[in-house]
Amino acid sequence: MYRHRFRPRFRPSSVVARNVILTMIFVHVTGWMVYQWMPMERESIFELDQFRRTGIGGTYITNNTSSSQLNPQRITNETNSSSALTTMMTTTTSIPVFYNLYVATANESSRVFDLVSDQMIHLRPEHKPVYIQSMGPIQLSIPNTELLGHHSNGTEMVTLRSLWNYCTEHPTEKVVYLHSKGSSRNSPENEDLRKFLTKGALSRECSTLPTTCNVCSSRFSPLPHPHTSGNMWLAKCDYVRLLKDPNIFETLMDTFTSNCTLKGRLGCDGRGRFSAEHWIHSHPTVKPCDLYANPSFTWDYEGVPPNGTFDIDLAQAPRFDILEYINWHKCAGRGVRLEYRIDEYLELYHQEPDESWWGWNFLHTISDNSWLPRNKKAAKRWKTMQLCWRGLIPKVNETTTKEGRV
């Protein structure tokens, strides 16, 4: 027998009430679903020495950002606990950028700002935060960056030390070093080199460099000393933390090779202000990679592609024969000798390179003069320049071989 279910009779007022209740339920459920669906990013702030790393999702707290400018939907929890720091560092894929900014005069502010903005265009999503150390008499404000400090008489070593300090605390990460090349001397050569180096340091290829590399740049130059002309690169922190403190590196280099005093020779050994370029490649465990396949540019300024434009081709470096890197008009073949490079490693780090070192099959020993020019005048010039080197370890120049010292 079919039985009718009891259906209560609603008066009009009851129908209205029911509809109101159902509408409220629908709104709450829909709002909850939308809230769950939205990709909320949890952020945290930690302070380590002078660093404040913020904005995993792309928002940064800077000296020029008021609270009203921050995204109100994001909740920031400040914590100093080591557990929270560990959790954050193991989940983020960001690569901090350390930027050395120099502005000489107020009249140059606009040009330098445009210069920096042009570099920032190349930032990839993983390049965050951007830390700035400001140098010179003028302090320039750069949006979406964090100012670590301003120094009236600072050098690149200040920024490199910030980067080095960061890596000693975060050995599993990568870092990028950039600077405002051309801010003190506006020239087409500086502009081309800045664009060339920025493109490489901020490239996808460097961000995802293979395990066979620990430093990546547009061009690694093994001569006249291991360096990247213009000094912009990406590096792995587990390598960077092995380097000497940048604050003392210039002094160490001057001590080890201080008998070379003639004008223009500082750049041949990576001393003086050139020690900033030499620093990142100064350790015997360096595994350099570079991106430019054309040997037209190896170091200094000659041969830089116009406007810094080139096709990226990542490879282990040095990628050319040693003769491609020798400039007979500058430094006259300095840095070619295997013994000299190992002497410096021993003096700086008390360590010889292992079998995987790039220099074993690239550099020439003292007894191998096959690379010298047949021109007697040029060969004599090299021998004169050779006297500019002084090693602190006695009797090492004649005994260093790939197999070891005898």
- Look at residue 7 in the predicted model and tell me its pLDDT: 44
Residue 73 covered by a domain = no
pLDDT given for residue 39 in this prediction: 39
Is the residue at 193 inside a domain? Answer: yes
Whole-number pLDDT of residue 369? 78
Angle between helices 109-120 and 188-201 (to 10 degrees): 30
Contact predicate 337/365, CB 8 Å: yes
Report the alpha-carbon distance of residue 181 to residue 194 in Å, rounded.
6
Residue 69 covered by a domain = no
Residues 6+ apart with CB under 8 A from 91: none
Domain ranges, residue 303: 43-64+78-386
| CA atoms of 406 and 401, how far apart (whole Å) | 8
Q: Is residue 404 part of a domain?
A: no
Q: Is residue 148 part of a domain?
A: yes
Vertex 119: Cα angle to 271 and 293 (nearest 5): 70
Q: What is the pLDDT of residues 353-385, one digit of tens each?
A: 999 999 999 999 888 878 877 766 666 666 555
User: Residue 388 burial by CB count (10 A; 0-12/13-18/19+): exposed, middle or buried?
Assistant: middle
What are 351's two structure tokens? 């360590």
pLDDT at 385: 54
Residue 270, classed as helix, strand or coil, is coil
Does a structural domain hold residue 357?
yes
pLDDT value for 334: 80
Give pLDDT, residue 102. Answer: 97
- Inside any domain, residue 8: no
Residue partners of 389: CB distance under 8 A and separation at least 6: 257, 260, 269, 340
Domain presence at residue 198: yes
Backbone angles phi, psi at 98, to 5 degrees: -110, 120
* DSSP state string for 91-142: H-----EEEEEE---GGGHHHHHHHHHHHHTT--TT---EEEEEESS-----
Residue-level pLDDT at 371: 81
Give the pair of three-digit tokens for residue 125: 């999503």
Give me 26's structure tokens. 């629908």
Q: What is the mean pLDDT of each run of 10 residues along the chain (406 residues)?
A: 43 54 58 42 30 32 31 27 30 84 95 97 97 96 96 95 98 98 93 98 97 98 96 98 97 69 67 94 98 96 96 98 88 83 93 97 87 70 53 34 30
pTM of the model: 0.73
Q: What angle do CA 97, 231, 95 make, to 5 degrees?
A: 20
Q: Quick check: 330 and 301 in contact, CB under 8 A?
A: no
**Structural domain count of the chain:** 1
Tokens of 339: 């013994």
* E runs forming strands in 190-311: 215-217, 233-236, 288-290
